[in-house]
């Protein structure tokens, strides 16, 4: 990890950042940011990005810090190996910092602007910086102190959609469901499409190589593949879109598909038991616990997916081990039966060379189990494959 000395503005390399005292900056990039390569050039000192670095170092020095880290000049982005290490380590670097300074470049206390309109609340990378950092101090564009994250928790929660308890540190990020964490990122933006996935690695404690040029869809698919290796939280599959009757895979195409999933939580004592899933050439291999749904019971927009294929006579309704929070019942998992508010996905068989291959059919709502399950019918079990269409 490369740090910047707040007094000399010289770089220093450290091996164990978790044992080192340093401050870190969270900000949005502007037009005149200064890179590692340009930092020593005399003409760079006239740029706004350099002045931001100087002001950050000055404030950190006042607060007793000899070293700081900032993503603009402390990473040699011409080195793909260094860039990959930095992005895969960034969540930890923010968590190890003694203090994180947030700088709003588009908000001034003097003019009484509305803080929540700042671009900082809309960027993908600032999400992990908010959640990873233990102590955060907020400053306006002139480096006037606004408050800390505890004092501003209500405003931050309102703008970010993140429950106050996570902002205040009363709950850890790992306590939120996979879907809830995705929902926090669903409306945030990144300059490069692949970064929509890369900026979320720390939230799930996964690592993966950076492949800029692969596109946002492939990067986000890879992220989800890594998540299922370390988590059995099936809220990852509980996303839905208003593409009524469209065919899809089990994995979402982007975080935006989770924007209404902030209240989904795992069902820990579920009657649904599964072996670990795996990614195969035929799709996601999963031990399915399901109810068959005759085609005649489904609305027309679902039936149209089958088209002229007369071999398709029924779909599979697959309950997931997650459900929306029920304000009327604090423990919806107390029954041995599948809860009525459980999340579910609808699968259509694909007739062809292989048996047990299915594709997901997108709903117009997320109450499939409540609408189409039959309480009098027992659950059935079989191993299936769910195809993931290419984008």
The mean per-residue pLDDT over the stretch 250-256 comes to 95
Q: How far is CA 291 from the centre of its chain?
A: 31
Statement: residue 334 has pLDDT above 50: no
In angstroms, the CA 136 to CA 93 distance is 14
Sheet with 2-5: strands ordered across: 11-13, 2-5, 67-69, 23-26, 99-103, 136-139, 145-148
The mean per-residue pLDDT over the stretch 195-219 comes to 97
Q: What is the pLDDT of residue 332?
A: 46
CA angle 251, 162, 147 (to 5 degrees): 145
Statement: residue 240 has pLDDT above 90: no
Length in residues, the chain: 391
Query: Which tokens go with 235?
Result: 């809220």
In angstroms, the CA 239 to CA 253 distance is 10
The model's pTM is: 0.92
User: In the 8-state DSSP scheme, what is residue 339?
Assistant: P
pLDDT in tens, 71-81: 999 999 999 99
Q: What is the pLDDT of residue 94?
A: 98
Query: Which tokens go with 346?
Result: 């609808």
pLDDT in tens, 177-200: 999 999 999 999 999 999 999 999
Q: What is the pLDDT of residue 328?
A: 57
In angstroms, the CA 363 to CA 318 distance is 13
Statement: residue 303 has pLDDT above 90: no
pLDDT in tens, 88-134: 999 999 999 999 999 999 999 888 677 888 999 999 999 999 999 99
The mean per-residue pLDDT over the stretch 274-285 comes to 90
Q: What is the pLDDT of residue 333?
A: 45
Statement: residue 365 has pLDDT above 80: no
Statement: residue 218 has pLDDT above 70: yes
Per DSSP, the three-state class of 256 is helix
Choose the weakest-confidence range: 77-81, 155-159, 371-375: 371-375
pLDDT in tens, 17-49: 999 999 999 999 999 999 999 998 999 999 999
Choose the weakest-confidence range: 180-189, 348-357, 374-383: 348-357
pLDDT in tens, 52-66: 999 999 999 999 999
User: In the 8-state DSSP scheme, what is residue 3?
Assistant: E
Statement: residue 244 has pLDDT above 70: no
């Amino acid at each position: 990890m490369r740090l910047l000395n707040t007094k000399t503005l010289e770089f220093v390399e450290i091996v164990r950042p978790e044992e080192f005292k340093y401050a870190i900056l969270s900000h949005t990039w502007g037009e005149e940011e200064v890179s590692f390569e340009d930092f020593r050039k005399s003409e760079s000192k006239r740029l706004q990005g350099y002045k931001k670095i100087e002001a950050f170092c000055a404030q950190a020095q006042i607060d007793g810090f000899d070293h700081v880290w900032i993503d603009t000049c402390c990473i040699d982005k011409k080195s793909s190996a260094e860039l990959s290490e930095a992005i895969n380590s960034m969540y930890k670097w923010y968590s190890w910092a003694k203090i994180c300074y947030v700088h709003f470049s588009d908000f001034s206390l003097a003019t009484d602007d509305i803080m929540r309109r700042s671009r900082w609340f809309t960027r993908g990378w600032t999400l992990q910086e908010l959640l990873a950092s233990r102590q955060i101090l907020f400053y306006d564009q002139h480096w006037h102190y606004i408050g800390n994250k505890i004092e501003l928790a209500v405003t931050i929660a309102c703008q970010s959609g993140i429950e106050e308890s996570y902002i205040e540190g009363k709950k850890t990020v790992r306590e939120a469901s996979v879907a809830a964490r995705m929902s926090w990122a669903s409306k945030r933006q990144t300059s490069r499409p692949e970064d929509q996935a890369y900026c979320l690695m720390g939230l799930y404690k996964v690592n993966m190589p950076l492949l800029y040029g692969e596109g946002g869809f492939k990067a986000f698919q890879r992220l989800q593949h890594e998540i299922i290796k370390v988590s059995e939280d099936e809220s990852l599959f509980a996303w839905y879109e208003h593409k009524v009757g469209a065919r899809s895979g089990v994995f979402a195409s982007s975080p935006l598909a989770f924007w209404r999933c902030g209240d989904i939580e795992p069902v820990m004592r579920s009657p649904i038991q599964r072996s670990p899933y795996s990614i195969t050439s035929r799709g996601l291999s999963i031990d399915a616990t399901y109810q068959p749904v005759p085609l005649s019971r489904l609305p027309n927009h679902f039936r149209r997916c089958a088209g002229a294929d007369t071999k398709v006579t029924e779909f599979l309704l697959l309950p997931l081990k997650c459900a929306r929070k029920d304000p009327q019942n604090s423990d919806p998992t107390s029954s041995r039966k599948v809860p009525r508010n459980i999340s579910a996905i609808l699968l259509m068989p694909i007739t062809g060379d292989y048996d047990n291959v299915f594709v997901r059919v997108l709903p117009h709502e997320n109450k499939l189990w409540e609408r189409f399950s039959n309480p009098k019918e027992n659950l059935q079990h079989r191993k299936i494959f769910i195809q993931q269409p290419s984008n």
